[in-house]
Amino acid sequence: MARLRTIYLSDLQRKNMRSTASTWTAASSATSRTGPSASGRRQRSPIKSSHDLERLARPVRFSEYSELRRDLPHDLRDLNRRLLGLCRNRGVLPSSLREQLLEKDESLDDEFYFAEVTVRNTEADPSLDDPSRELESLESIMQSASHCYRYSASEAAWNQKPEPIPTAQPLDQLLPANVTSGLTVGSKMVDYALLMLPGPNCVLRDAISRQLDREPQTINQPMYEILREHPIALSIEMKQDPGADETCHQLSVWTSAWHARTRTLMLEHATDDEGLAPRVISLPLLYAHGHVWRLFFAVDRGDAIDMIEFPDGLVATNVLQEYKLLATL
């Protein structure tokens, strides 16, 4: 059985993981989060607009949810249905805290509550089994977020204690190329990743161990130690200010590199009779700025990647919205 763990990329130690195979070499450390490699020797194709994303060898297209919701892949349909329920605030609040929550907001309807069943893995933090403690934590988060918003706090202050942030840079060979110039784009990184942690007797863990005996010795797009053997389940980018275009470019290039690595792994293990290249599983991505959280799904369309934004952006400024965000995550 696999568990999930949030990885703060700022906590990862920079390591030089050079491959011995000539076809797979780790990218040299970057001096900035969005710039080219530190050597400066390789010319890059800039990403300045959505048009540049559509000129990639496998285009990345930002698509309207309303246009594609009837054409969602099977691996998203059940999740989409549950998220639409959360949009209507159904089953968001713990019923054991009904009286406490009504004191804070008398407008909360009965359908907002859910009957509690202990389904969480509280091994890391037993306090999560106590709804009151959870409510206290959410209220504390709201207070901290309001403080950051009021005083225009830095990006780091919104998310963690200030400290130097190293980069988890995708391998050069996985970066997408512009179809006109043939140049690969500049590397883009994200702030956080939610990773799968396969259990000791999990089939997935055994498969990953076998894969790490081959080059490149990673199942993800970067070569950081913790990211080499734990599949990325969710990528998150945080911003102090909206800056939507630049963030969309970051998520697009990061996801394109992940797709390239995942497709390679799938093709390596595909049987001869499977015919067409396998479709990569849809990947959720989060973009947060201030109190606002936006959810995207990267959907493999074969010759392109559709980035579909879920229509109900979360603005976590009250208890109901905080619980709604928690349920979404």
Asked if residue 74 is part of any domain, the answer here is yes
Alpha carbon distance 306, 298 (integer Å): 6
Type of residue numbered 141: I
Question: Residue 166: pLDDT above 90?
Answer: no
Asked if residue 130 is part of any domain, the answer here is yes
Asked if residue 230 is part of any domain, the answer here is yes
289-319: pLDDT as tens digits: 888 889 999 999 999 999 999 887 777 777 7
Two structure tokens written together for 133: 């403690």
pLDDT for residue 225: 73
65-113: pLDDT as tens digits: 876 777 888 899 898 888 888 887 877 888 777 878 877 777 787 778 7
pLDDT category at 271 given cuts 50, 70, 90 is low
Type of residue numbered 151: Y
Alpha carbon distance 160, 58 (integer Å): 35
pLDDT for residue 1: 58
Boundaries of domain holding 302 = 2-26+43-328
pLDDT for residue 81: 86
pTM beyond cutoff 0.85: no
Contact status, residue 24 vs residue 215, Cβ threshold 8 Å: yes
124-141: pLDDT as tens digits: 555 556 777 777 777 777
Q: Shortest CA distance to 62 belongs to which of 74, 49, 45?
A: 49
Asked if residue 312 is part of any domain, the answer here is yes
Asked if residue 277 is part of any domain, the answer here is yes
Two structure tokens written together for 181: 């110039």
pLDDT for residue 154: 55
pLDDT for residue 42: 67
Question: Residue 177: pLDDT above 90?
Answer: yes
Instruction: Please list the residues that pair with 194 across neighbouring strands.
Output: 6, 234
Query: Taking the chain, what is the end-to-end CA distance rounded to the nearest angstrom?
Result: 19
Alpha carbon distance 196, 6 (integer Å): 9
Question: Which residue has better confidence, 243 or 185?
Answer: 185
SS3 143: helix
Question: Which residue has better confidence, 34 or 214?
Answer: 214
Type of residue numbered 87: C
Percentage of the chain exceeding pLDDT 70 = 72
Asked if residue 128 is part of any domain, the answer here is yes
Contact status, residue 234 vs residue 285, Cβ threshold 8 Å: yes
Q: Shortest CA distance to 167 belongs to which of 221, 103, 211, 234?
A: 221
Compute the CA torsion angle 307, 55, 36, 227 (nearest 10 deg).
Answer: 40
Alpha carbon distance 173, 131 (integer Å): 47
77-86: pLDDT as tens digits: 898 888 888 8
Q: What is the mean pLDDT of the chain?
A: 75
Percentage of the chain exceeding pLDDT 90 = 18
pLDDT for residue 280: 93
Asked if residue 31 is part of any domain, the answer here is no
| Count: domains in the chain | 1
Two structure tokens written together for 281: 């599983």
Asked if residue 321 is part of any domain, the answer here is yes
Contact status, residue 284 vs residue 293, Cβ threshold 8 Å: no
pLDDT for residue 125: 52
